[in-house]
Amino acid sequence: MRYLRSLKTLLLIALVGGALALIERQRHAEQQHLTERSHARGLPQLRGQSLREFAQVLVVLYPEGAEPNLVMGTALAEEGKLAEARPFLEKALAVDRRNQQLLFLYARLLLDLGEKPAKVKEVVDDLRRFFPRSRQKVEEYFAEASKGKMRFDADNVY
């Protein structure tokens, strides 16, 4: 009993956490509005109609913001509307050029839209420069995605 009294705040938090966990799992199962986690440190992300609704709210609130335009660009790209997604991503890039997710998505989108490799490479070079920890993976990904049309020199980004 003494231990229970001493740890009551912590036990209350555990109870709240347990209740939230039940709600989270139930919502996820019912609505299917989140992606599965891709790795241990990742989080489920909004997808489909839920992502689109979220993007629409943000674009109304902050039409010039980087995040709202990135979310809208992501939602449209997910729906396969690549040409519609492009201006949103470009608007986001004009505000924030150092966003890893944004740079990656935009480079991938340009590739899928059939832009010249030199143009795509400009964006990929920003990714390599700003995010050196994932540089090797990015180079491998885009070399393969462009079917070898893009090549990366070892030292031309710094």
Which residues lie near other proteins (CB under 8 A)?
A: 2-3, 6-7, 9-10, 13-14, 16-17, 20-21, 23-25, 27, 30-31, 33-34, 37, 39-41, 43-44, 46, 50, 53-54, 56-58, 60-62, 65-68, 95-96, 98, 100, 130-133
Asked if 152 contacts 132 with a C-beta cutoff of 8 angstroms, the reply is: no
Nearer to other proteins, 129 or 149 (CB): 129
Nearer to other proteins, 52 or 149 (CB): 52
With 0-12 / 13-18 / 19 or more C-beta atoms within 10 angstroms meaning exposed / middle / buried, residue 57 is exposed
Nearer to other proteins, 51 or 111 (CB): 51
Distance CA 67, CA 95 (A): 9
| Nearest distance in Å: CB 38, other proteins | 12
Residues 6 or more apart from 27 whose CB is under 8 A from it? Answer: 33
| Nearest distance in Å: CB 147, other proteins | 29
| Nearest distance in Å: CB 26, other proteins | 9
| Nearest distance in Å: CB 77, other proteins | 18
Point out which residues pair with 34 in neighbouring strands.
Answer: 46
Point out which residues pair with 46 in neighbouring strands.
Answer: 34
Residue entry with tokens 């839920």: 50
Distance CA 79, CA 73 (A): 10
